Amino acid sequence: MVKAVKGTILKCDPAVKQVILSMNNSEREPFIIEDLDETHLFVDTAHVERIKRRVEQLLEENTYKIEQLDPKQ
Amino acid sequence: MPAKEIVHFKTNIYEYLEALPKATQERLYRESATCLAIFRLLPSLAKHFVNALLFVEDPFLKKDLEQWIKPKGASKFEESWEKLSRLHILAEKEGYIIMNKTFRENYRNCLTGGGEHQSFGVPPSSKDKHRPENTIEYLDSYAKKQWESILHYMVGTRTKRPGRGVVNLLTESGLMAERHEGDEDPQITNKGFQFLLQDINTQVWAFLLQYLELAGKEKNPQSNYPSNKILKMDLVEVLNFYFLLGSLELGQDYSIDQLTPTQQQLIEDLAYYGLVYRRKKSSRRYYPTRLATTLTSGTMSFTKQHPGNIINPLAVKDMPTEQGFIILETNYKLYAYTNSQLQISVLNLFCELTGRYSNMVTGKLSRDSARKALMSGITANQIISYLTSHAHPQMKQKSPVLPLTVIDQIRLWEMERNRLQDTDAFLYTEFKSERDFNSILDHAYKLGIIIWANKAKRMFAVTEDGHPQIREFIKKRMKKNGPQAGGSSSKS
């Protein structure tokens, strides 16, 4: 029986994929429909914007910034 | 605005004219001023042909025309011919060349001074009592002030907000966009940044063409134009007026009485952009500024009425821009020898400016500042090309012009932002047999709608648009093979 599911494909590097996976596991309602391969995930479209924001935020937290050394106002 | 256009941000009046339907072109040729302006836009060889054939009444063989060309000039001939025929000025019929009748008549009138004379603007009968002193200097500074206020607004200098019409034009044309719902001012976009990099003549044309596009549109009830502004103007009248402006004389005043109602409405907006000057809205006369009079005599043509001033009318005041003024060091520090508020604002889009002196500003490229620019849609390549083209002569002696580390880092900052790509899709799973899977997958590949596929897992994903086609294909297959060959439930 062929099945077609609507959703969104996320293409990313393996590191980001792991971030998304851990996000998925820590949530009450998992949004990943199918784990396709190393660099692709199939997820619920409704969550895409939220995932993007969260990934952005996580990456931002993990960036080394030289400015932090300067006494900025 | 389709996304495609943002990439190829081309703003050539010529391309625009070419794309017009033949009937519209024909109507344009009814104005002598327009004929002259279009003539000026032609490549020089094409001009030569038009002039040579203009007064030849007898049929002229295209073969004879080809005889004029040396063999190595054949490609130039083809190019000129192509342009003339796309504009429907010349056409070939049974080997003979036919010149567009309307064009011939009106262009002749324009050269010989025959026909009606209104085409080139009519000076008012009375003298202007309020004529500004040092008219030309006054007009130049007026034009510069108006035009730069638009550019300033685009780069986000919080000076004066231009009129509603200008803001609307900027957002509708995609040069600026509202980043967040309810923002007071829109922000510059990728396309807008590209716009800033052009020379002023191109900018003015780009702006006028955008205006044209909006003006020609049906009135959209949802659009928030003030009710009597920009709605369904006649393209031909607007274009005719643009071309008329290009043939007017700087410093001379003209009467608006001969203009059509559309054009009188248009002139109000053009006064905002600094193309024409009017003392007040009810004034019956207008002065074209240098922005307007150089419209058709820009870089594309060699007519020299005001030598030295043509290419960039405001160039005198922008001298450092022409020379390049930016020094960028390998430690991401940037020194810009300019005191132009506009250039500083442009730099401020992607730089952290730290100090300002009387003739220079210092700043630093940082991840945050670059990301700010990238987020508003400016690309890394645009930043790099801006820095390269405005590099200080001392930097330009080096090769490469900009320090590689910085260029690479800007590109990396851009890539970092695109770590996640999303595409809406339909995922097909649970195929019964390998054969089924392969034939459907092959079909999908042929349609070019596959985003991802994995044979081992027997899964593939197609684009949203491709989904109905695949669904149909599977249904047909099922019917052909009989229901027992494998049912399909295609749920979305």
ipTM, two decimals: 0.80
- Cα Rg of chain B, angstroms: 28
| Same structural domain, B19 and B145 | no
Q: Which two tokens stand for residue B371?
A: 């990301």
Considering only residues 348 to 407 of chain B, which have any Cβ-Cβ distance to chain A shorter than 8 Å? 366-368
| Same structural domain, B150 and B278 | yes
| Same structural domain, B157 and B235 | yes
> Is the residue at B126 inside a domain?
no
| Same structural domain, B179 and B256 | yes
Residue B74 reports pLDDT greater than 80: yes
| Same structural domain, B261 and B334 | no
| Same structural domain, B223 and B202 | yes
> Is the residue at B311 inside a domain?
no
A52 contacts in B (CB within 8 Å)?
Answer: 420, 422
Considering only residues 273 to 332 of chain B, which have any Cβ-Cβ distance to chain A shorter than 8 Å? none
Q: What contacts B108, CB < 8 A, 6 or more positions away?
A: B54, B55, B114
> Is the residue at B233 inside a domain?
yes
Chains A, B: CB pairs < 8 Å = 102
Answer whether A42 sits within 8 Å of B427, measured CB to CB: yes
| Same structural domain, B211 and B280 | yes
Answer whether A2 sits within 8 Å of B419, measured CB to CB: no
> Is the residue at B98 inside a domain?
yes
Alpha-carbon gap: B410 to the closest alpha carbon of chain A (Å): 15
SS3 B137: helix
Alpha-carbon gap: B170 to the closest alpha carbon of chain A (Å): 27
Pairing between β-strand B488-489 and β-strand A2-12 as defined by DSSP bridges? parallel
pLDDT at B363: 93
A16 contacts in B (CB within 8 Å)?
Answer: 419-420
| Nearest residue, CB atoms, A10 vs list B366, B422, B431 | B422
| Same structural domain, B401 and B432 | no
| Same structural domain, B147 and B218 | yes
| Nearest residue, CB atoms, A10 vs list B420, B427, B440 | B420
Mean pLDDT of chain B: 78
Burial (CB < 10 A; 0-12, 13-18, 19+), residue B107, is buried
B102-131 pLDDT, tens per residue? Answer: 888 888 888 887 666 566 777 777 777 777
A70 interfaces chain B, CB cutoff of 8 Å: no
Q: Are B353 and B347 in contact (CB under 8 A)?
A: yes
> Is the residue at B381 inside a domain?
yes
Confidence of residue B334 (pLDDT cuts 50, 70, 90): very high
Q: What contacts B327, CB < 8 A, 6 or more positions away?
A: B334, B335, B336, B337, B391, B392, B394, B395
The residue among B194, B223, B219 whose CA lies nearest residue B206 is B194
β partners of residue B90: B99
We report the CATH number of the domain holding residue B477 as 3.30.70.2610
For the domain made up of A8-63, the CATH class stated in words is alpha beta
Answer whether B420 sits within 8 Å of A55, measured CB to CB: yes
| Same structural domain, B111 and B11 | yes
Residue B148's domain comprises 135-293
Q: Are A45 and B462 in contact (CB under 8 A)?
A: no
> Is the residue at B298 inside a domain?
no
Q: Which of B22-31, B153-162, B171-180, B227-236 is modeled with the greatest confidence?
A: B22-31
Answer whether A4 sits within 8 Å of B367, measured CB to CB: no
Residue B370 reports pLDDT greater than 60: yes
Number of domains making up chain B: 4
pLDDT at A67: 56
A10 contacts in B (CB within 8 Å)?
Answer: 420-422
> Is the residue at B491 inside a domain?
no
pLDDT at A66: 62
> Is the residue at B247 inside a domain?
yes
Burial (CB < 10 A; 0-12, 13-18, 19+), residue B296, is buried
* Mean pLDDT computed over B409-425: 86
B6-46 pLDDT, tens per residue? Answer: 333 335 677 788 888 888 888 888 888 888 888 887 888 88
| d(C-alpha B239, C-alpha B38), whole Å | 11
Answer whether B423 sits within 8 Å of A9, measured CB to CB: yes
